Amino acid sequence: MPMAHPQNKYADFEGLRERAVALRREGLSRRQIRDRLHVDNNDILNRLLEGEPPPEWTKRPNAKDDVRERARELRLQGWTYDQIQVELECSKSSISLWVRDLPKPDRRRTPEEASTIAKRGWEATLRRREEERQQAKAASKSTVGHLSDRELYLAGVVLYWAEGSKDKPYSRRERLQFINSDPNVITFFMRWLDVLGVAPERVRFRVSIHESANVTEAEEFWARLVGVDTTAFQTPTLKKHNPKTNRKNTSDAYRGCLVIYVLKSADLYRRMEGAWYGIVGAASATDLQNRT
């Protein structure tokens, strides 16, 4: 297929702008829009988004005037960056910018005091970073919205191909069997089975766990999560203890992994595998189209 001339890449500017504006109003950032539309020219991207304000989650919070003034007051009183950071819970880089024209205070603290203040400043930084982390996650979560059954089906196919048991030419395993330790992943997988139309009586469960753990509590935990009685669980798989292994999963929250498999699921497995390669093919075709 002949390659398009670079000057023709943005020939349908109005159509491209409509798509860019629509993505902007959905809450996407400039980087996300650039990657989605394959626009690698910043001038073009600026024209496409002209007049469209950025979503709230991408805006960097501006320092309030009263915080800046308070920082300057404290600096004039002889406070250090560490002390101002703890008091106002703002970054040292911001403080440096606000007070760089003011004289440096004389150091009047012992090394122990300096260490304590620095530690408190670092703790304040960690709290601020955690808040920013949670805000970014919440903002991204809110953009997902409702998922259709088709979207759930495709997401489940990708998840299964990453985590589920797969058929091999030398070992035929055409059945749905899935194992994971994340309760959220297990919940999603059970919802995926609903989308596939799998009846509950076709589903079997088994716990895979270290032999030193509380197997009964683990089975009760997973049974509550998937909505069945513990009597529905098959004999657990116990992992032998290796004294040379430095295990990290030794807390009370350790529940091992839940193994889920579906009886008579060869046809479902083939549908899943076919859909996976359909996703791969569609993605490859889209990439080729965008590069031509």
What does the angle CA 33 – CA 38 – CA 41 come to, to the nearest 5 degrees? 90
Residue type at 124 in one-letter notation: A
The whole model's pTM is what? Answer: 0.57
Q: Are strands 203-210 and 237-239 parallel, antiparallel or unpaired?
A: parallel
Residue type at 186 in one-letter notation: I
The DSSP symbol for 254 reads: -
* DSSP symbols for 17-70: HHHHHHHHHTT--HHHHHHHHT---HHHHHHHTTT-PPPGGGPPPPPPHHHHHH
Instruction: Give me the pLDDT at residue 104, please.
Output: 82
Q: Are 274 and 161 in contact (CB under 8 A)?
A: no
As given in the structure block, the two tokens for residue 157 are 């196919």
Instruction: Give me the pLDDT at residue 57, please.
Output: 65
The DSSP symbol for 227 reads: T
Mark 104-115 as b/e (b = at least 16 C-beta within 10 Å).
eeeeeeeeeeee
Instruction: Give me the pLDDT at residue 81, please.
Output: 86
Instruction: Give me the pLDDT at residue 2, please.
Output: 43
- Each residue's pLDDT tens digit in the chain (292 positions)? 444 444 456 678 888 889 888 988 888 888 888 888 888 888 888 888 888 888 776 655 555 678 888 889 988 888 888 888 888 878 888 888 888 888 887 666 677 877 887 888 888 888 888 988 999 988 888 888 888 999 999 999 999 999 999 988 888 889 999 999 999 999 999 999 999 999 999 999 999 999 888 999 999 999 999 999 998 899 999 988 776 665 566 667 889 999 999 999 999 999 999 999 999 998 887 665 666 5
As given in the structure block, the two tokens for residue 125 are 């930084």
Contacts 24+ apart (CB under 8 A), 52-57: 52/20, 52/21, 52/24, 52/25, 54/24, 54/29, 54/30, 55/24, 55/27, 55/28, 55/29, 55/139, 56/139, 57/27, 57/135, 57/136, 57/139, 57/140
Q: Are 11 and 45 in contact (CB under 8 A)?
A: no
CA-to-CA distance for 190 and 222, rounded, in angstroms?
Answer: 12
